[in-house]
Amino acid sequence: MTSLVDARFDNRFCSRLAADPSDVNRPRQVPGAAFSRVVPTPTGAPEVIALADEVVDLLGIDPSDTTSDSFRDLVTGNAVAPGMDPFAMRYGGHQFGNWAGQLGDGRAINLGEMVTPDGSRQTLQLKGAGRTPYSRSADGLAVLRSSIREFLCSEAMHHLGVPTTRALSLALTGDQVMRDLLYDGHPALEPGAVVCRVAPTFIRFGNFELPASLGELDGLRAITEFTIREYFADLVPESGEIDADTVVAFYRRVVESTADLIVHWQRVGFVHGVMNTDNLSILGLTIDYGPYGWLEDYDPDWTPNTTDRHGRRYRFGNQPGIGQWNLAQLGNALHPLVGEADPLQEAIDAYVDRFRNGYGDMVRAKLGLQTWDVDDDESLAIELFDLLRMVETDMTILFRRLADVRLDDTAETEARFAPLVDAFYDPDTVGDDVRNRWHRWLDNYAARTRSEGTGDGLRAETMNAANPIYVMRNWLAQEAIDASTAGDHSKVAELLDVMRDPYTERPGLEHYASKRPDWARTRVGCSMLSCSS
């Protein structure tokens, strides 16, 4: 165990890639560099209000150090430890399908790459720590509401088993930040905050797209070789030379991990909300928790992002296709290093099968089946999801209650249906036609489980391992935000503790497993969010 100020940092990103030669910290174009060195902006009265104990342990930090002034100052940008080398990454990206040019870390500053007790490296990054050369017209700061959402969801996703960046700490800055929540001309002051995010790297697709778009082939080659050597070392040939085949193998690995990630999102009902190419991790992690959301009623056309409300490009049901589209842009960026299109095309063509196979395996587990027959079981699944759309149905609750349904020969049809009623927002809307369709589906489902000899006990065990009972619903986060804004930060800790064990139903936590309340149906922060931070 160590204190954060004494931790060992090995900042390979900065030592092995091209730095911005200028130290001018103002929004500007930065040619030919992978990053700019920049120091966080000190805050007025920093206060750490929440910690993720698991991340403290991951980093090998002595828990007693987390109450020290030095820890507080480091995770809020008020101090820099001797081993740190703070920087902001330069990258580009496609935003809502359009090329946006240079973007970069506009409100994130990487403190450095910390060497953990097991010898791995974790990058510590402050979100909301002040302006960088990539902030464009923004101030580089963040507010409490979005910071609570980022902190809680990062950790909730980890405990759900979804690949994600992590969050070490959440802190108030003591400063007020002006934000226009809905971009409707009504700005207001809000409490400022900083989240210390943690990941092996925050490299994303846009790190490759920008140098490729500008013809900076040396920079493209440098970031590609660095990424392969550091994070895909098993792909490096015995000769040590990274050639075109190595780049294709790297791309294939990213295709696979991205497909796997989106299968996880669909499994738990997570909607990223802003799947721009600069928001997709090269490691297949969920990254950049902005206007995300969780399906309450099952609606594949829903997006939480107000900016996307008309086109709905990033709606829940479109996430698999957007993943493939974004991967195609990454493939285009890597093409100059490969020299021919066919190998890259073959790699991305495999995305469909990878996703479909993973999706089938995921749905199999959600239904508690031990095997998956594409011809028969896909139709069973399609019919189920059609039923979820017929009346307003909570997806998370429906799958948990489906595990309670008795499917043996002695169960009557109506008795089978009874546990599912809790999942309907208004059971009175379930008319005879819908009820009869459910009865037929349950009969088919029962016959399917009997065909493989799966008893209710094994089926429920399989289902409850795949279907969480507690997810980071937006209205739950909003309750924590409201309390924290009023000075009560205990709700953040309570919600984090609930999300630590999302698959086990616990007495006394019924509130966290309930349907969206009426007050949250149209509440800003619950039904809709913006990119405002």
Which tokens in the block code for residue 378? 């896909």
CA–CA separation, 280 and 261 (whole Å): 10
Q: How far is CA 327 from the centre of its chain?
A: 17
Nearest one of 444, 118, 93, 447 to 274, comparing CA atoms: 93
Backbone angles phi, psi at 129, to 5 degrees: -95, 10
Please report, in angstroms and rounded to a whole number, the separation of the first and last CA atoms in the chain.
Answer: 34
Question: CA gyration radius for the chain?
Answer: 24
d(CA 147, CA 108): 12
Catalytic option among 65, 85, 278, 394: 278
Nearest to 333 by CA among 99, 112, 491: 99
What does the DSSP 8-state code read for residue 95?
Answer: E
Burial class (CB in 10 A: 0-12, 13-18, 19+), 238: exposed
120 contact partners, CB below 8 Å, separation of at least 6: 200
C-alpha 222/C-alpha 220 separation (Å) is 5
Helices 144-160/474-485 angle, 10° precision: 140
DSSP 437-502: HHHHHHHHHHHHHHHTT--HHHHHHHHHHHS-S----HHHHHHHHHHHHTT-THHHHHHHHHHTST
| Helix, coil or strand: residue 532 | coil
Phi and psi based region of residue 312 (left: phi greater than 0; alpha: psi -120 to 50; beta: remaining): left
DSSP string, 202-229: --BTHHHHHHHHTT-HHHHHHHHHHHHH
d(CA 5, CA 124): 13
10 is catalytic: no
Q: Return the active site residues.
A: 278
